[in-house]
Amino acid sequence: MLRNRLFFSQTYKCENLVRTACNLKPKAKLKTILPALLIAFSAAATAANKEGTLASVDLKTNEKEHFTVIAHRGASGYLPEHTLEAATLAFSLRPDFIEQDVVITKDDVPVVLHDIHLETVTNVEDVFPERHRDDARYYARDFTLEELRTLQIHERTGNDGKQVFENRYRGKLASFKIATLDEHLELISELNRQFDAQVGVYPEVKSPAFHAKEGIDASKVVIDSLNSYGFGGDDGNSYLQCFDFKEIKHIRENLGYKGKVVMLIGENEWDESDTDYDWVRTQEGMREVASYANGIGPWLGHVLNNEAMAQGMIEAAAWLNYAHQNKLTIHPYTYRHDALPTGMTGEQILEVLDNVVHADGVFTDHLVPVLTWREKQN
């Protein structure tokens, strides 16, 4: 979920949650959007709690549903992403799930990293300056676990070397290290045991086609780890996610996995896989996805009607009806409290996701505001 769409927030100028700036005049946005939000909330909700806060309403049963909160890369809004420290902090805040992106090392060990590349979150250029490929990038697959352990993880940086979110963790002395998937699963399992908690895991198989060319079945490796720690299978408290529809089918048909699976949806230009995400969002595509997956993880830029936004109205994207019709769980990504769209509060964004989009939950870098908002709904 990176590169030229670096976090949904980075493209808000033309693709934000409340307006398309290319179509909506700046002076009009506050006058039209915020009243439209109130109209949208009123039209979308059929019940309110005693305090007058809109309740989350299931489209079929009109019963209040649990809004799932997923710690995106751990507590990544507060500590460097995907570190054991970020996972521990996330657990302490009690989300429903903690996410782990998984790539495979040279010695076939699954490690928790968002990308198959290392330079955006580690000091690999300083430690192994000559170990890049012809594209000048450093691949986790080219390093053993022992070698990766020598690297320091830092806050994500852009192509200019600057920290992407300048107000996030700025410390220089703490030593954050790459951890294995098994270490993450063991950590969460042990914390669940000791605190009598039920925090689940939400691993993503990263770039399975790349790993296949490298001679490794990344999904099998991830599933084996999930099963080893009791998170796998139809009784496991987990979701297994991937951007590659062929891999979703492989997980079901060839690996026989029975646990919950989520099809992630991005833009074709991101090159996450050869999946046609435009097709995925069609009626046929959603029906096909539903025959293999339990849910979808759409990008926030896909969940609202752009034409309606251009007219100052907030409506769910029409394609989401196909997802609802096929009873697919909907977990959009990613809520970031330090990158809110102009003219909206965090609570308003969450209200839109809950009462207009009818999402079942959200991935978030910032657990505190999302969990606080959810608590208010209850």
Provide the annotated active-site residues. 72, 114
State both tokens at 274.
Answer: 């050869």
CA–CA dist 345, 328 (Å, integer): 28
| Contacts of residue 42, Cβ cutoff 8 Å, sequence gap at least 6 | none
User: What dihedral do alpha carbons 261, 266, 272, 277 form, nearest 10°?
Assistant: 80
State both tokens at 23.
Answer: 């179509």
Choose among 285, 294, 297: nearest CA to 322: 285
Choose among 315, 361, 378, 320: nearest CA to 44: 315
User: What dihedral do alpha carbons 363, 368, 373, 378 form, nearest 10°?
Assistant: 100
CA 115 vs CA 57, 82, 259: distances in Å:
36, 11, 24
Question: Count of alpha carbons within 13 Å of 320, Cβ hemisphere only?
Answer: 23
Query: Angle at the Cα of 63 (from 58 to 67), degrees rounded to 5?
Result: 60
CA 15 vs CA 54, 303, 310: distances in Å:
26, 11, 11
CA–CA dist 263, 293 (Å, integer): 6
CA 155 vs CA 10, 147, 174, 175, 364: distances in Å:
16, 20, 12, 12, 16
CA–CA dist 208, 221 (Å, integer): 11
- Which residues in 60-148 belong to E strands, given as ranges? 68-71, 97-104, 110-112
228 burial level (CB within 10 Å; 0-12, 13-18, 19+): middle
Choose among 320, 283, 202, 296: nearest CA to 245: 296
CB-based contacts of 256-260 (< 8 A; 24+ apart in sequence) = 257/219, 257/223, 257/232, 257/233, 258/233, 258/234, 259/226, 259/232, 259/233, 259/234, 260/294, 260/295, 260/329
